Amino acid sequence: MEHSLFKVFLLFLFSACAGNASDDKTNPSLPSFTDSSLTITKDTLKITYDTILYPFLDSSYNLALHVFNTKSYNEKESNSTITFNHTRNNKTEMLFQDSVYCMSALIEWKDFNNDNNKDVLIFYSTGARANPTYHLYLVDTTEHKLTYVKRFEDLPNPEFDSNNNIIYSSALHGVRVITSFYKINSQNQLVNLGHSIDTDFGDSVEFDRALKEVLKEQRK
């Protein structure tokens, strides 16, 4: 009898322990929650940007680019000033100041009027399909002048062909490209030469045909 009671006691104790153990098990079908939040890094981009260029050997002349809002993406509102200064006898004279939009403070030097002087290109904007545009200032090293070319900022991907004295503008859209032809005349004005073409990317046959037509008219 005593042995039977002892066995019953052991069975009760075992079942109680087994029950407690099953209660402690984690249900594998339940999701495991973890903290997946990321630390937000504060934007450290500078709000302003300044640089000074010296377009002539005479360093008393300088062109100052001041971007006062680098975070602006509204092309219709100016976010920069371009100031042309001349310092003489410790006095600085502002020759001109333009208010423009500048998406990025990228500056390039390229000749666009075939006078063998590198002109100043200041980045304006770009489209969704890598169509960068620029503000253009023609450099006159003889007269120490800078001339802004109006509407040049409307030309995407401008390239200058010095052999033919022609500016090519290529606007990418989808898998096609619109190529237009321009030149800068003796009054420093941008002139549309017509014969724009809309072709598949890399269509050199149609490009050569259009270029021949442009050159033919220029020789008249």
Contact 121, 110 (CB under 8 A): yes
Distance CA 65, CA 3 (A): 101
Mean pLDDT of 162-181: 95
> b/e per residue, 184-210, with b = 16+ CB within 10 A?
beeeeebeebebebeeeeeeeeebeeb
Chain centre to alpha carbon of residue 191: 26
Other Cβ atoms within 10 Å of 73 Cβ, number = 10
Neighbour order of strands in the sheet with 91-100: 49-53, 61-67, 80-88, 91-100
Per-residue pLDDT of 16-70, as tens digits, reads 444 444 444 333 333 333 333 333 334 445 789 999 999 999 999 999 999 999 9
**pLDDT of 124-148, one tens digit each?**
999 767 799 999 999 999 999 999 9
* 100 vs 80: CA distance, rounded Å: 5
CA dihedral 195, 196, 202, 208 (to 10 degrees): 10
pLDDT digit string (tens) for 175-199? 899 999 999 999 999 999 999 999 9
Domains in the chain: boundaries: 49-218
Comparing 219 with 55, the larger pLDDT belongs to: 55
Backbone angles phi, psi at 16, to 5 degrees: -65, -45
Looking at the chain, which runs of residues are DSSP E strands?
A: 49-53, 61-67, 80-88, 91-100, 107-110, 119-125, 133-140, 145-148, 158-161, 166-173, 176-184, 190-192, 197-200
Give yes or no for a contact between 165 and 183, defined as CB atoms under 8 angstroms apart: yes
The CA distance from 72 to 70, in Å, is 6
